[in-house]
Structure 1
Amino acid sequence: MAWTQVYDPMGGAVWSALVAGIPLISLFYMLAVRRAKGHYAAALAVCLAFVLALFVWGMPVGTAFSALTYGAAFGLFPIIWIVITAVWVYNMTVESGEFEYIKDSLARLTDDRRLQAIFIAFAFGSFIEGTAGFGTPVAITAAMLVGLGFKPLYAAGICLIANTAPVAFGAIGIPIIVGAQVSGLNEMTVSQIVGRQLPFLSILVPLWLCCVMCGFRRAMEVLPAIIVAGVAFAGSQFLFSNFHGPTLPDIMSALITIIAMVLLLRVWKPARIWRFEGEQESKIEGAAPAFGVVVRAWLPYIILAVMVFLWGLPQFKNMLNAIPGAVMKFAWPGLDGMVEKTLPIVTKNSAYAAVFTFNWLSAGGTAILIAGFIAVPFMPGYSFGKAVNCFGRTIFQLRFPILTIAMILGLAYLMNYSGMSSTMGIAFTLTGSLFPLFSPILGWLGVFLTGSDTSSNALFCGMQRSTAEVVGMDPNLAVAANSSGGVTGKMISPQSISVATAATNLVGHEGDLFRFTLGHSIAMTLFICALTYLQAGVLHWMLPS
């Protein structure tokens, strides 16, 4: 017999929402105040949510446990499958020494610090965000900038600011995929709306970075590069998110931006080379590697981009899924059809489905895995044996992120199936027509708390849809705004700051870096809030029909 959700267990929408928010408050306390490790914070939040689901919302024990394990399973596949394979490819390029040629090829393009920031923090960081995500781009690009001679605080701060617009499409589009999955909306529609929000921010980020480094007047000295980078990235981001899907916008936008910048520097150079005040000139030693060597070094990521592009095509995906045994679906035990929703937005009680799909062949992580093995013969001195050993080390390296992601997804599904997310959503209906202003702030808060746009979408997108449908807002816009607003919280997330300080040897200066990025985070969030509010009203024509 199905259990029926309850949305007002405390006898008042606001009080019920506050109690439902206790697991999220605990995440904030553990991460922002206690600075606990992610898996400890997630474990406490899961325990609190489980207790509340049982004793306040009245959810049966078996149903609650099934919801928790269902979410954790979705965290393991396809999300963690993508993370493991993407980081594995990166680790192979480092172990084989090819990544040094990638760094060298970028560093030799220009001596100007402003252009280096655009190339590495913005363009190359976006590429790494698209292939790996989850803190990897900040760690890599911040270390690269310090290696080039940047001051550590600026290297860390600039990389955090740059790692905004690409975040929603990071790790082969996982944040969008998760947001659509937990809200029950169409993945392509959400991708299209995010692709009609973030390009407005993307086109500003190169200018924003330069102004942070040297002020507006000196930034104007490299205006051609700022325009080329902004337009190339934003335009590509719009096209791929709207006409291909969420998997490739970051990868292709980054590659197109890098190519556009290389072509620009063949015909234009800044009149003056700018460096930080008091900085000594640093030069790259040795002759530049041959063009063939550089292409070989980039080849794993070129192959990866091609494979992910193919896997993202609906026709190709359908062909893979048609292979016998390529897709396994089954109703999740103890959960499928065992929960009834009675939200005001539904005309009658409706069963909450729980069907797990194991599409192992058409999954994005499988495309990356195959790309990695195809690339192995092109890595000098590397072998398939080393690649397999590297895969094992990568899993061990990611053991705590794997645990954290699984628990965060378990928490999200438990809150959704218990009705706790809907309880918070109903409270937000009190904002009425102003909800579009608050929708991105929820995403910003979620990323600040969890350090991940994926985790934020898992926590809040179900609530975003519920609230939007009650107040008359397009639910696709609300879910997209959660992801778009979340990207601006990445730069102040305790996890992101910890990664950046570790990469730049600034451990102990987390407070300085937080103050460096806080104002930029707030400004970008307000920009997304205003855009979402306008798209919910006078600019509704911008949304896909």
Structure 2
Amino acid sequence: MYTPVLAPIAGSLTLSALLAALPLVLLFVLLGVFRMRAWLAAAISLAASVLVAVLGYPMPVGPALLAASEGAAFGFFPILWIVVNAIWIYNMTVHTGHFDVLRRSFARVSDDQRIQGVIVAFCFGALLEALAGFGTPVAVTSVMLVALGFQPMKAATVALVANTAPVAFGALAVPITTLATVSGLPLHDLASMVGRQTPVLALFVPMVLVGIIDGRRGVRETLPATLACGVTFAVAQYAVSNFFTAPLTDIVASLVSALAVVLVVRGRRSTAENGDSRAEIVRAYAPYVIIIVVFALAQVPAIKNALTGVTVTFNWPGLHLATASGKTSTLPAFKFDWLDAAGSLLVIAGLLTIPVIGISPGAALRTYGRTYRQLATAIVTVMAVLALAYVMNASGQTATLGTWMSNAGGLFALLSPVLGWLGVAVTGSDTSSNSLFGALQVTAAQHAGLSPTLMAAANSSGGVLGKMISPQNLAIAAGAVGLAGREGDLFRRVFLWSLLLLAIMCVLVVLQSTPVLGWMVV
């Protein structure tokens, strides 16, 4: 059984942290500076992480490669399993022409691309995040924006930046429930605390989206709609997470904010002609209604128990790991929830969609095959990035970075969201970041005399801002809009927005750790 060493380089945590950061720095430099294709950058960085594990840490080659293989498998299932099936449903609607009907329907609400971007990327994206998460909103909304007339690069950028404020409560609040499990803190306290942080982001994100689409002039001209969207989403997210139930937070917030935008712009209805029949419009919306219904039914206790009853959990063959503290690591445990997984529910939704939109089974099957070809490079990228993340976690590289940052004392309040941001940037998942750093955040908070609930929540709230720069999400967005190979260009477009919003979250957390905003802490 391999046990990580936190400071393998001359016993120095700082030197060890510099070495541990090497694969991540290499990945982002290859993407952002050298504009290398994401799959190649991820593969090179994966090789670097294995070399660091074997040469810098005392990890044998065998366990390092086994950890990489488990990470690659996790990258395909459940993450890519969600993305592929979500894009498949979209591609079927394109094949039958129903997506054009949907586009025209959105144009009737408003023919203003800026408003369409807010409704599709932020409001509808938040609903998809609430139900499925794990890349689904980016995959679906980016192609919807292209269908509405957006340039592919701008569509992908808007979809990535929009996928921020809802992430902490995504997939029916799985990131929060995971954080509660690993930190030992009450679920309601964590949900309430996150619900007092991420709504601040929601106030700004709709305006940021319009700024990306149309610059400062656009922000000024659409201010009533973006304010209505941001404020209603923020209020709903705060209210539901603090006074009702975490899993429903983003569902309620997304619907309320969409309604608010529609009410604000209804006085300036589009003049676009729409000759589509009511039946065609219903069929165009049907796939997304079916998705919502399938995911909602999957949460009914009796149905959920039936779906999870066939879940298989097993230890990855040959991989035996311990944590730095000597406890048996849970990393080798692979959960194969083949029926309850979001991707499997999307398959069910897709099968129900086939007769509704009138596509033949043969055409649906051929579309499924084309979807895999369309996402081929994204599949390689995501599997390589998750393999890298697993090697870093298994070898101790991630723990070294987290422990080094936790030694900052009172300054840890500033670094806490950054740690969550880093975790999501690597894994592409707020759930995974909370699994990695949730317990560490609590320990560091106790040593620094800070609120454990505040620091644990900051991990999740800061983490949401790492989604847009995560290589796997960059690959998903680029692949969805036909820009595979241009992930580096996309990375440069979103990186500064990620840093700016992260800075806002860091300032908020620091103020919440002081008497200035200490009254906000649960």
Query: Residue 430 of structure 1: which of 402, 407, 418 is its match?
Result: 407
Q: Are the structure 2 counterparts of residues 89 and 478 from structure 1 closer, same or farther at C-alpha, using a change threshold of 3 Å?
A: farther
Who is 1:140 aligned against? 143
- Say if 1:69 and 1:158 are closer, same or farther in 2 by CA, change over 3 A: closer
Paired position in structure 2 for 1:327: 311
For 1:9, the equivalent position in structure 2 comes to 8
- Deviation, 1:418, is 1.4
For 1:395 and 1:252, locate their aligned partners in 2 and report how far apart those are by CA, in whole Å. Answer: 33
Secondary structure of 2:319 counterpart: coil
> 1:116 deviation in Å?
3.7
Distance 1:73 1:185 in 2: 28
Matched, 1:528 2:505: yes
- The answer as to whether partners of 1:143 and 1:504 remain within 8 angstroms in 2 is no
1:428 & 1:375 partners in 2: Cα distance?
48
Q: Which runs of 5+ in 1 are unaligned?
A: 274-282, 343-348
One-letter code of the match for 1:462?
L
Give the alignment partner of residue 357 of structure 2, picking from 370, 376, 379: 379
Q: Deviations over 1:101-124 (max 9, x none)?
A: 111111121244553443344334
Spell out, residue by residue over 1:345-367, the C-alpha distance to the aligned partner (whole angstroms, 9 max, x if none).
xxxx3222332222212222222
- Aligned partner of 1:402 among 364, 371, 379: 379
Per-residue CA deviations over 1:429-469 (Å, capped at 9, x if unaligned) read: 2311211212323444566x66x732x87478524642541
**C-alpha distance in structure 2 between counterparts of 1:321 and 1:116, whole Å:** 37
The residue identity in structure 1 corresponding to 2:307 is L
Provide, for residues 352-387 of structure 1, a one-character-per-residue CA deviation record: whole Å limited to 9, x for no partner: 23322222122222221111111211103x123322
Give the deviation of 1:255 after TM superposition: 4.1
Task: Tell me which amino acid in the other structure corresponds to 2:322.
Answer: V
Q: How many residues align?
A: 508
TM-superposed CA distance for 1:327, in Å, is 1.8
Partners of 2:53 and 2:246 in 1: CA distance:
35
Assess if the C-alpha contact under 8 Å between 2:378 and 2:476 holds in 1: no
SS at match of 1:339: coil
Question: Aligned equivalents of 2:323 and 2:497: distance in 1?
Answer: 43
Distance (Å, rounded) in 1 between the aligned partners of 2:75 and 2:255: 29
In structure 2, the CA distance between the partners of 1:476 and 1:392, relative to structure 1 (3 Å rule), is farther
Cα contact 2:88–2:371 (8 A) shared by 1: yes
* Structure 1 residue aligned with 2:199: 199
Letter in structure 2 aligned against 1:140? V
Given residue 413 of structure 1, which amino acid in structure 2 is its aligned partner? Y
User: For residue 279 of structure 2, what is the aligned residue in structure 1?
Assistant: 292
CA contact (8 A) 1:311 1:364 kept: no
Any idea what SS the aligned residue of 2:298 has? helix
> 1:213-362 alignment to 2 at 5 Å?
213=214, 215=216, 224-238=224-238, 253-266=253-266, 268-269=267-268, 284=272, 286-313=273-300, 316-322=303-309, 326-336=310-320, 338-342=321-325, 349-353=326-330, 354-362=332-340
In structure 2, what is the equivalent of residue 100 of structure 1?
100
Alignment partner, residue 91 of structure 1: 91
Please give the per-residue CA displacement for 1:118-168, whole angstroms capped at 9, x wherever unaligned.
334433454566665374356335535545xxx999777655544432455
C-alpha distance in structure 1 between counterparts of 2:384 and 2:337, whole Å: 22
SS in 2 for 1:329: strand
Following superposition, the deviation at residue 470 of structure 1 comes to 3.1
Cα contact 2:323–2:329 (8 A) shared by 1:
yes
Q: What's the secondary structure of 1:357's corresponding residue?
A: strand
Of all paired residues, the percent bearing the same amino acid is 37
Cα distance between partner residues in 1 of 2:69 and 2:351: 32
* CA–CA distance in structure 2, aligned partners of residues 405 and 178 of structure 1: 24
- What is residue 34 of structure 1 aligned with on the other side? 34
Match of 2:436 in 1: 462
TM-score (norm 2): 0.81
The 8 Å contact of residues 194 and 458 in structure 2, kept in 1 or not, is answered as: yes
Secondary structure of 1:298's counterpart equals helix
- Tell whether the 8 Å contact from 1:141 to 1:159 is kept in structure 2 after alignment: no
RMSD: 4.1
- Aligned partner of residue 262 in structure 2, secondary structure: helix
The structural deviation recorded for 1:501 is 12
- Structure 1 position 367 matched with structure 2 position 357: no
Aligned residues of 2:183 and 2:456 also touching (Cα < 8 A): no
Matched residues in 2 for 1:187 and 1:105: separation?
A: 44
CA distance in 1, matches of 2:493, 2:316: 46
Distance in 2 between residues matched to 1:34 and 1:183, nearest whole Å: 38
Amino acid at match of 1:438: L
CA distance in 1, matches of 2:401, 2:141: 33
Change (3 A) 1:418 1:515: closer
1:361 partner SS: coil
Is the Cα–Cα contact under 8 Å of residues 169 and 176 in structure 2 kept in the other structure? no
As a proportion of its length, which structure holds more helix?
2
Contact 1:88–1:390 under 8 Å retained in 2: yes
Query: Offset at 1:304?
Result: 0.5
CA contact (8 A) 2:475 2:487 kept: no
Which of 422, 425, 428 matches 1:453? 428
CA, structure 1 residues 529+287, in 2 after alignment: closer, same or farther (shift >3 Å)?
same
Pair 179,145 (structure 1): closer, same or farther in 2 beyond 3 Å: farther
Residue 91 (structure 1) shift: 1.6
Q: Which moved more, 1:481-490 or 1:408-417?
A: 481-490
